Amino acid sequence: MLVIKEVFAAGYRSLRHIRFPVEPLSVFVGANGTGKTNLYRSLQLLQSAATGALTRDLAAEGGFDAVYWAGQRSARDPVRVRLGVRLSGEGTGDYNLDYNVETGLVELLGAGFQLEPQIKAETLVYEACKRSKTLLERRGPRGHCLDEEGLKRPLGSEILPSETALGSLQDAAAFPDLHLARRTMLEWRFFHDFRTDAGSALRQPCLAVTSPTLASDGSNLAAVFATLAHIREDTVDLDRAFDDAFPGARLVIPAPDRHATFGVIFPDFPKRVFEPSELSDGTLHFLALAGALLSYRLPPFIALNEPETSLHPDLLEPLARMIVAASKRTQVWLVTHSEPLADAIARYGGVSPRRVVKRKGETWIDGLRLNGDFGEEEAEDA
């Protein structure tokens, strides 16, 4: 599977123009209102390009009036939101796949609804051994894709202006590199808003289906735990993390029948199993994060947005240790406003948190140079 090496975003909300590297464990910390969530959201929108839902998701945010860079700009600048990612494969021959997509409004005589976003440009470039070739190139309604034999195939009229070619070209045999890029991006997981109210899926039994990976909404959490306990038959890491967070408590994972569930035995009530419906919001939230970070099979990329929400300060150190442990198995990327969590991850993971700031209304990262590398901090007027 491919790993993320670099992300690019321009014209999206507070992201005027930013390119930054992605490490095996990336931590971004900053105050509210600096644009941390916009960095996170740009990655989600790249996944939307892989699903084919990019323009729909931009429209759901309020359309271009809501998402386009609202800072100072020239009237001649085209109204565009541009996103890009570099995916890298390692092995016998290192290589990169660079995907870029550009969206804008419907042209005066274009086919589409007046205010809907449309794909203006899209490319996928393969690079290896200092040589590159463009596998996908699209400009407006026209474009082509290279097939496995290196022949150009026109995109044709089947792909609508509101659809990405990345999400539409499903022939894996004809377009293997495009298929690999799409499949990698589809397997990313974003965890940012686990519901813990009375109607939350986390509090309900779920169907007993082998679940090696947690769903983004946590709806299969009980099945993830059951998979570890009764399919893999290994809950050592999960039990250690739970005891780290709740000393003396025990996570109970009964063998499932039609449904899977779990419970907790607390030291003050050693003969009583507390069901998910009885657990506190913080306890349930921590268990959901444990399911995301300690599941049987981790996705190739996990993004966390303020995972400390609703957690007691005593749980930040155990959470940091779980995050660091997960980063040994996959890429982990998170944004947080919790300095204690960022500091704990730095201690256990040996990584330096990157500070997200606002410069003249623009989201930036301290120490990020204009070429996309981290070095000395840029001057304020750069």
Task: List the CATH number of the domain containing 288.
Answer: 3.40.50
Q: Could you identify the residue written with the tokens 């039990």?
A: 239
- The reply to whether 175 and 287 lie within a common domain is no
Burial classification of residue 76, based on how many CB atoms lie within 10 Å of its CB (0-12 exposed, 13-18 middle, 19 or more buried): exposed
Q: What are the residues facing 265 on neighbouring strands?
A: 250
- The reply to whether 144 and 7 lie within a common domain is yes
- The reply to whether 136 and 239 lie within a common domain is no
Structural tokens at position 338: 């919790």
- Output the pLDDT for position 191: 96
Ramachandran assignment for 248, one of left (phi > 0), alpha (psi -120 to 50 degrees), beta (any other): left
- The reply to whether 256 and 304 lie within a common domain is yes
Per-residue tens of pLDDT for the chain, all 382 residues: 799 999 999 999 999 999 999 999 999 999 999 999 999 999 999 999 999 999 999 999 988 888 999 888 777 778 899 999 999 986 545 889 999 999 998 764 455 566 688 999 999 999 988 889 999 999 987 899 998 888 999 987 778 889 999 999 988 999 999 999 999 999 999 999 899 999 999 999 999 999 999 999 999 999 999 999 999 999 999 999 999 999 999 999 999 999 999 999 999 999 999 999 999 999 999 999 999 999 999 999 999 999 999 999 999 999 999 999 999 999 999 999 999 999 999 999 999 999 999 998 999 999 999 888 887 544 444 3
- Output the pLDDT for position 78: 81
Closest listed residue to residue 226, CA positions, set 199, 257, 249, 200 = 257
**How far is 164 from 76, CA to CA, in rounded Å?**
26
- The reply to whether 227 and 270 lie within a common domain is yes
- The reply to whether 164 and 252 lie within a common domain is no
Any domain includes 370: no
Strand ranges (E), 75-220: 80-89, 95-105, 117-128, 131-139, 142-146, 152-154, 189-191, 206-207
Closest listed residue to residue 295, CA positions, set 344, 223, 356, 209 = 223
- The reply to whether 143 and 110 lie within a common domain is yes
Closest listed residue to residue 207, CA positions, set 155, 136, 259 = 259
Any domain includes 29: no
- Output the pLDDT for position 377: 46
Any domain includes 285: yes
Distances (CA, A) of 64 to 44, 56, 73, 104, 255: 17, 11, 15, 8, 50
Any domain includes 380: no
- The reply to whether 97 and 220 lie within a common domain is no
- The reply to whether 178 and 204 lie within a common domain is no
- The reply to whether 228 and 138 lie within a common domain is no
Number of domains forming the structure of the chain = 2
Any domain includes 128: yes
**How far is 245 from 363, CA to CA, in rounded Å?**
34
Tell me the CA end-to-end span of the chain in Å, nearest whole number.
37
Any domain includes 242: yes
Q: Would you mind telling me the total number of residues written for the chain in this entry?
A: 382
- The reply to whether 300 and 152 lie within a common domain is no
Q: Could you identify the residue written with the tokens 């050592």?
A: 236
**How far is 248 from 244, CA to CA, in rounded Å?**
9
Any domain includes 376: no
Any domain includes 378: no
- Output the pLDDT for position 94: 83
- The reply to whether 298 and 319 lie within a common domain is yes
Full domain range(s) for residue 153: 3-21+36-187+355-365
